[in-house]
Copies of this chain bind each other. A is one copy, B any other.
């Protein structure tokens, strides 16, 4: 990806939460790719979330976009988190060159995305447009089964992927964009469900090493300590509602 001024990436995402935008930010930060987090800029300087409405209406991209994150690179406008992450990973060298490895990386990315949807639905099992408080009963039930079944099953799958790769990277021998995604998943799970994460931790030694290795990458480390990293909060996907965590 050319690094000239015209090609500075523009990320469009909600202002006050990590959400799906965070997966994109981690790739941009790790590769020191110049980008503007557009909606987080002051409105007087062209920021604000009105951009997202303009994308939805089709005004900004020539076609309508259902939901952010949205990435603009030169003339190319990309939507859907796994689509953006694959695009950036391949352009920025954060994945091996071979087609088989790239297909495998995309497969793992999509499986991480499935887990992300499962995490989201622990607090929104009935409808996205209702508040958590309006669907709390179903949420308690869904969260229970998430800790009992879905989380252990998926997380042990990813641990097995690492074991098969004989290392601490999911695809190939170098850190790829999929490892950055997995890092975010692991720290998010630990924020939202500390007890449940504690319980699965003994079974995922390789994943924990992956997480620690990513956290130590110089640019990721600097980013996590910067004001650009929005703290986890209860507007995002990973929400810490103690009643939805594993019971003692």
Contacts and interface: CB of A to CB of B under 8 A. Distances in A.
- A-B pairs with lowest CB-CB distance, top 9: A127-B145, A80-B110, A138-B138, A80-B107, A79-B107, A64-B160, A63-B164, A83-B106, A66-B157
Interface stretch (A41-49, A97-105, A200-208): A97-105
Nearest to A117: B117
Of residues A99, A106, A164, which shows the largest number of chain B Cβ atoms within 10 Å of its Cβ?
A: A106
Contacts of A161: 63-64
Chain A binding site: helix, strand, loop or mixed by DSSP? helix
Nearest to A110: B80
Interface in A49-100: 58, 62-66, 75-76, 78-80, 82-83, 87, 99-100
Interface of A: 58, 62-66, 75-76, 78-80, 82-83, 87, 99-100, 103-104, 106-107, 110-111, 117, 121, 125-130, 135, 138, 141-142, 145-146, 149-150, 154, 157, 160-161, 164-165
Nearest to A111: B66
A160 B56 CA distance: 10
A107 B126 contact: no
Contacts of A165: 63
Contacts of A141: 126, 135, 138
B126 A103 contact: no
A103 B125 contact: no
Q: How many copies of the shown chain assemble into the complex? A: 2
A103 B76 contact: yes
B145 A130 contact: yes
B160 A111 contact: no
A95 to B, nearest CB: 14
A146 B125 CA distance: 11
A74 to B, nearest CB: 10
26 contacts: A58-B160, A58-B164, A63-B104, A63-B164, A64-B160, A65-B107, A66-B154, A76-B100, A78-B107, A80-B106, A80-B107, A80-B110, A80-B111, A82-B110, A83-B103, A87-B103, A121-B121, A125-B125, A125-B138, A127-B142, A127-B146, A127-B149, A127-B150, A128-B150, A129-B145, A129-B149
Given A129-B149, A138-B138, 4 more contacts: A76-B100, A121-B121, A125-B138, A127-B149
Nearest to A86: B106
A149 B134 CA distance: 16
